[in-house]
């Protein structure tokens, strides 16, 4: 399923029971084996669990969470200052093969504007990734080592939340425009931007982005022998960012959060 519809997730429609009926029919018709049918069942059961957790987070009254919150403790396993397990850093020598300029953020007029900051940083990073070409080739950073754009490949939407022009309480807006994946692995790299000055340890946008991507990616890799769909989320807030590796361990959604990195406006 290379182009999964996200409608069931976004419309709160669970698919496991209906999928089981379809799987039974395919097995009876000898179109798939019993073992392959069981693989499909496990994947669809996980999709429904992801969807239920997604809706719990989406319907919750707060945008900000802590590891000790009940919702987080029940469905997630959070660890801090942990290096990613399924992802490795890009070698600096490889990066130096690309001709690029540092992202420029001095255009920001109001340093207290979270929206303005995220807007410019997003623009600069997108330009850096798309137009920095390898000196010995014409491969941009977005396609480094076989990575590709997941949104165009699978026709999935951009995770985002826009609360309107005059939301009650503190404004929290976010979007995750960058999704990179591979043909030879179930891994996904996601970049997200969170318009908030809250120092909260966990943001709703981080949870929803990871769960949404994990939901449709589980369908994309269905039947390909992958038991885990690791996600690396680059989460940017005004003047600092962090990296979160996420995956499902068979019972809970694991979040390994690296130490927050701070940086100046220049």
Q: Look at residue 128 in the predicted model and tell me its pLDDT.
A: 74
Asked which of 36-50, 110-124, 182-196, 217-231 is least confident by mean pLDDT, the reply is: 110-124
Q: 185 phi and psi, to 5 degrees?
A: -155, 155
Q: Look at residue 69 in the predicted model and tell me its pLDDT.
A: 96
Structure token pair of residue 131 = 């137009």
Average of per-residue pLDDT across 184-201:
92
Core vs surface per residue 20-44: b (16+ CB within 10 A) or e:
eeebeeebeeeebeeeebebbeebb
206-218, pLDDT tens digit by residue?
999 999 999 999 9
| Residue written as token pair 């490795």 | 88
Other beta carbons within 10 angstroms of residue 16's beta carbon come to: 15
CB 84 within 8 A of CB 78: no
Check pLDDT > 60 for residue 183.
Answer: yes
128-177, pLDDT tens digit by residue?
777 777 777 778 888 888 899 999 999 999 999 987 776 666 678 999 99
Rounded to two decimals, what is the model's pTM? 0.89
Q: 225 phi and psi, to 5 degrees?
A: 90, 5
Q: Look at residue 154 in the predicted model and tell me its pLDDT.
A: 93
Q: Look at residue 171 in the predicted model and tell me its pLDDT.
A: 74
Check pLDDT > 50 for residue 35.
Answer: yes
Check pLDDT > 70 for residue 184.
Answer: yes
Check pLDDT > 70 for residue 2.
Answer: no
- What band does 264 get if pLDDT is binned at 50, 70 and 90? very low
In the chain, what are the domain boundaries? 7-262
Asked which of 74-83, 97-106, 157-166, 210-219 is least confident by mean pLDDT, the reply is: 97-106
Check pLDDT > 80 for residue 34.
Answer: yes
Above pLDDT 90, what percent of the chain? Answer: 59
User: Average per-residue pLDDT in the chain?
Assistant: 87
Is the pLDDT higher at 251 or at 113? 251
């Amino acid at each position: 399923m290379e182009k999964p519809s996200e409608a069931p997730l976004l419309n709160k429609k669970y698919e496991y029971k209906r999928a089981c009926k379809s799987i039974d029919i395919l097995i009876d018709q000898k179109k798939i084996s019993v073992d392959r049918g069981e693989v499909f069942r496990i994947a669809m059961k996980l999709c429904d669990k992801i969807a239920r957790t997604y809706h719990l987070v989406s319907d919750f009254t707060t945008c900000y969470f802590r590891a000790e919150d009940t919702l987080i403790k029940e469905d997630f396993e959070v660890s801090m200052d942990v290096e990613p397990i399924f992802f490795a850093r890009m070698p600096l020598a490889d990066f130096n093969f690309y001709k690029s300029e540092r992202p420029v953020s001095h255009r920001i007029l109001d340093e207290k504007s979270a929206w303005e900051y995220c807007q410019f940083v997003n623009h600069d990073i997108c330009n850096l990734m798309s137009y920095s070409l390898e000196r010995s080739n014409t491969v941009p950073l977005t396609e480094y080592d076989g990575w590709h754009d997941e949104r165009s490949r699978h026709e999935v939407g951009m995770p985002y939340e826009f609360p309107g022009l005059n939301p009650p309480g503190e404004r929290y807006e976010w979007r995750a425009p960058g999704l990179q994946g591979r043909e030879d692995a179930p891994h996904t790299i996601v970049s997200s931007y969170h318009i908030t000055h809250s120092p909260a340890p966990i943001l709703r946008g981080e949870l929803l982005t990871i769960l949404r991507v994990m939901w449709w990616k589980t369908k994309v890799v269905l039947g390909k022998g992958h038991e885990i769909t690791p996600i690396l989320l680059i989460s940017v807030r005004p003047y600092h960012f962090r990296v979160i590796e996420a995956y499902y361990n068979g019972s809970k959604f694991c979040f390994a959060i690296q130490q927050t990195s701070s940086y100046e406006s220049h």
